[in-house]
Amino acid sequence: MIITRTREELYKTLEAFSKRPGKLALIPTMGNLHDGHLSLIKLAKLKASKIITTIFVNPLQFGKNEDFKKYPRSEKLDIEKLKEEHCDILFIPRNGEEVFSKHEKVKTLDSGTLGSELCGKIRPGHFDGVLTVVNKLFELINPNIAVFGAKDYQQQILIRKMAKSLHPQISLLKAPIIRSKNGVALSSRNNYLSEKELDIAANLFKCLQNSVNSYKKRKQLNEILNNANSFLVSKNLMPDYFELRDSELNLVSKDNFEGRKVFLGSVTINNTRLIDNIEF
């Protein structure tokens, strides 16, 4: 695996790899890699012969009172994991200027109305920061394929909309959620929780499953949502939101909506916010 830390190193490596046949797949991450991230690489390998992973803790997507400085960083371990997965290139910029050069005007992207709903309502400006850095990575790397996880459902929908407009040549893949044995969706922020808290967190997935089953049994949506919120509170999980949307995240108010849809939930436990969803 070739490790690049500057734009110059990145460009030289990409130029050399461009002479090899096959497609280039990008997996953007903020590091602290777990099996969920590694599953993105496995999926990418089915569609491309050259894999590049980026590790960059993006300051633009953290709010004033969020955890940018304490966000878990595990560079040495991450590098070992990527080598084991036979990743070809790692771009781990030595500083923010290798991504957002001070000689360039950063094009800040607007995530629109959807970017201020659901997680965006709790984290104002978060998705603007996500889209801005992903757009920049797309410009720097120009991959054929990019892979994003389904756990961050709203994020991958917004990135898909952005890419369709600004980078139509890039194919986006959505990778399935990877879960621990108790059903908790894998996340870097799970590191903040004790074993007992992780057991409590499993109730978010149970709540999503119960809600899907209830909807399929044609119970009233308002009743399902009320029951879900009551269940989460009873398990000491404070709901930030729990909603049903269609697969493009438009609001669903019908009791018997037939198209693809998704229950999404966000809860807080011990000042740590966890998200999860089930599409059906």
Q: What is the mean pLDDT of residues 11-37?
A: 97
Q: How many CB atoms lie within 10 A of CB 214?
A: 18
Angle value at C-alpha 71, between 99 and 57, nearest 5 degrees = 10
Q: Which CATH number fits domain 188-279: 3.30.465.10, 3.30.1300.10, 2.40.160.50, 3.40.50.970?
A: 3.30.1300.10
Q: Is the pTM of this model over 0.85?
A: yes
**d(Cα 36, Cα 53) in Å, to the nearest integer?**
14
Residue 236 identity (one-letter amino acid): N
Joined tokens for residue 129: 């920061």
**d(Cα 21, Cα 33) in Å, to the nearest integer?**
28
Phi, psi of 273 (to 5 degrees): -100, 130
pLDDT confidence tier of residue 65, bands split at 50, 70 and 90: confident
pLDDT digits 0-9 by tens, 132-181: 999 999 999 999 999 999 999 999 999 999 999 999 999 999 999 999 99
Q: Is 103 a catalytic residue?
A: no
Active-site residue identified among 37, 103, 126, 167 = 37
- Residue spans per domain, the chain: 2-175, 188-279
CATH code assigned to 2-175: 3.40.50.620
